[in-house]
Amino acid sequence: MHKIIRNAIQCKHCGDTIESENVHGYVTCSCGACSVDGGHDYLRRTYLSSPDEDYVELSESVDDNSGEKQQNQYTSVTYNSETEAAMVEAIRLSKDPETKKYANFADAAMDMMSEEELHEKLQEGFDDLEAGRTRPAKEVFEEFGKQNAIHSAVKKLSYDGFLKAFEHDDIYPVDETSFYFSDDPKETDHYLGCLREYEKPYWVGYCDIPDGCEYSSAKEMLEAKIFDGKSIKERWDSVVLCTIGGIPVEDWLDQYGAKLI
C-alpha cells in the first residue's frame, strides 16, 4: 500500500509550485490556472486545458512495505471547470438516480467509469475547448441563473434550512458546498462541507484561516467569524450558493428544498 507524502504540482503558466498539506488544503497558483487539494489523503487537481499542458506533477508516495519512494500519478477526477461540456456532463450525473448516493460528481465518475472512459470523456471536453465550442464557467452559470432563477430560489432557503441540512448530513448531501458573497467585488469562491470519518467533521476552506479550519458541529462552523471577521450566519443575506454537496444549487433545491424551505 502506498502513502502520499507530498501532494504538489508546478504550474506551467506562472511557474508556481503549489502544495496541499492537509485534507482541506485547496491551493491555487498565482495565475489561477490550476489547483491542488487533498493533502496526504488523496490527490485532486483542477486545471484549464489538460494536465500535460497546465502543470508538472510533483507528488510523491512511499510504499509502506519497502519504504521506496515513487512519483504519484494523478488519480482523482476533477472536471475542467472552464468547459461547458464537462459541467453539463456533471449535471447529467447528478440527475441520474443511480448516482444520488454520491457526495460529488468526481466520486460518481470514478466509481461508474473505467479509466479509459474517464480519459475519453475529458478528451471530449478538451476537443470542444480547442474547437471554440465552450464558454467560461462564470458566464454559463450566470446564464443558468437568469434562465432558472437560481438566485431567487436560493433566497427561499433560509439560514435555518441551511443549518438543518448540515446538521442532518446523513439525509442531505452537503460536502463540497461552494458559495460567494454578493457584496464581495471579487466574488471569491469559498468552500465548506462535512466528512464524518474525521473527529471534527465540519470543514471550511478559503476563509480568514490560511489553511482552512475544522469544527465539531454545523452550528459552530456557521457561526465562526472567519469571513472578514464575520460568520456565515451574520452575512447570510449576501451568501450566494453555487453548489450544495457538489450539486448545482437549483438541482439540489429541486430534490431537497421542499423539506427545508
What would the pLDDT profile of 36-50 be if each residue is shown by its tens digit? 887 887 777 877 777
Domain extent listing, the chain: 2-71, 84-130, 144-259
* pLDDT: which is higher, 113 or 55: 55
Is the model's pLDDT at 114 over the cut of 70? no
Backbone angles phi, psi at 65, to 5 degrees: -85, -50
What would the pLDDT profile of 127-177 be if each residue is shown by its tens digit? 776 677 666 555 655 555 554 444 444 446 899 999 999 999 989 999 889
Full-prediction pTM beyond 0.85? no
What is the reported pLDDT for 72? 53
Confidence of residue 83 (pLDDT cuts 50, 70, 90): very low
Q: Supply 68's cell numbers.
A: 521506496
Is the model's pLDDT at 55 over the cut of 80? yes
By the 8 A CB rule, do 79 and 125 touch? yes
